[in-house]
C-alpha cells in the first residue's frame, strides 16, 4: 500500500482531532486507544506504519483502516478554511437558512430550537416560552397567568423559561455543549454585532432603549420581534 501523506494544514487539523473522528473499524479504534493514541494524526501515522504488529489487529482491519483514512484525507485536502475546521462537526445546524437579518428572523430561530429540543414536554415548554415572550402577537403572560393556564407553580414556569433562555443564549454565543445541535457562525456573528452595538450605546448614554439597536431598516418591523431580541441581549449583558 502507498504511504498516507498529508499537507501541513491537514496534519495540523488532524493533530487537534480525536481518533473517533476517523470512523475506523471498531477493532482498530480499540487497538489505538490501548496504545494511548489520543489524536487523529498519530492514529494515521500508526495505520501508515506497521499496524499489523499490534495485538488483535488483523490484515482485514488494517486494510479497512487504510482505505477509510485514504478517502478521508482526499476529502480533507480539497477543503479550505472554515470548511476544513468544521469537517468533523457532527452537530446539526438548526438554522441553516439564516438570511442575515437577526431581528427579523429571531422568531423563526426560536421555533427551530424547539423543533430540535428533546423531551416529552417539548411542546408545552415551547408554548410557555412563546406566551411569556409574547411571540406571534400574543399578550405577554405573567408567571401567575401561565401558572393557572398550565397548572404549574410559578417557580416551575420561571425555571422552564430560564432554562430555554439560557440554552438559546449558549447557542447564540457559540458556547453550547449540546452534542446534537448548533448554530452556524453567521447567526452567532449577527447576534454578537447587536450585543456590541447595544453595550456601546449603553455605555455612552447609560440607558437601555430598544431604539439604540434599531437600525433604520427595522422601522416597520413589528415591535415584538425587536423586544424579543432585546430580551436576549439584556439577559446576556445584565
**Within 13 A of 228's CA, how many CA atoms are on the CB side?**
29
User: 74-94 pLDDT, tens per residue?
Assistant: 989 998 887 887 777 767 889
**pLDDT band per the 50, 70, 90 thresholds, residue 173:** very high
Helix or strand run (H / E) with residue 145: helix 143-150
CB atoms within 10 A of CB 106: 23
Please report the pLDDT score of residue 107 as a whole number. Answer: 93
The pTM score is: 0.63
Integer Rg of the chain from CA: 24
**pLDDT band per the 50, 70, 90 thresholds, residue 23:** confident
User: 179-228 pLDDT, tens per residue?
Assistant: 788 898 899 999 999 999 988 877 776 654 554 544 433 344 456 788 89
Residues 6+ apart with CB under 8 A from 126: 114, 117
Amino acid at each position: 500500500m502507498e504511504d498516507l501523506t498529508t499537507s501541513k494544514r491537514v496534519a495540523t487539523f488532524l493533530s487537534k482531532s480525536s481518533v473517533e473522528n476517523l470512523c475506523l473499524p471498531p477493532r482498530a479504534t480499540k487497538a489505538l486507544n490501548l496504545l494511548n493514541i489520543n489524536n487523529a494524526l498519530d492514529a494515521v501515522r500508526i495505520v501508515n506504519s506497521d499496524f499489523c504488529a499490534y495485538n488483535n489487529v488483523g490484515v482485514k482491519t488494517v486494510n479497512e483502516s487504510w482505505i477509510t483514512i485514504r478517502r478521508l484525507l482526499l476529502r480533507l485536502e480539497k477543503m479550505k478554511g472554515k470548511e476544513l475546521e468544521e469537517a468533523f462537526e457532527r452537530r446539526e445546524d438548526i438554522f441553516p437558512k439564516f438570511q442575515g437579518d437577526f431581528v427579523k428572523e429571531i422568531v423563526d430561530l426560536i421555533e427551530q430550537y424547539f423543533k430540535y429540543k428533546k423531551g416529552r414536554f417539548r411542546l408545552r415548554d415551547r408554548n410557555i416560552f412563546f406566551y411569556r415572550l409574547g411571540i406571534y402577537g400574543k399578550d405577554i403572560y405573567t408567571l401567575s397567568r401561565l401558572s393557572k393556564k398550565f397548572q404549574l407553580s410559578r417557580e416551575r414556569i420561571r425555571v422552564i423559561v430560564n432554562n430555554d433562555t439560557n440554552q438559546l443564549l449558549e447557542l447564540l454565543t457559540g458556547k453550547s455543549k449540546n452534542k446534537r445541535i448548533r448554530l452556524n457562525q453567521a447567526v452567532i456573528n449577527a447576534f454578537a454585532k447587536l450585543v456590541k452595538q447595544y453595550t456601546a450605546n449603553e455605555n455612552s448614554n447609560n440607558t437601555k432603549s430598544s431604539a439604540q439597536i434599531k437600525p433604520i431598516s427595522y422601522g416597520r418591523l413589528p415591535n415584538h420581534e425587536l423586544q424579543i431580541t432585546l430580551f436576549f441581549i439584556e439577559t446576556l449583558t445584565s
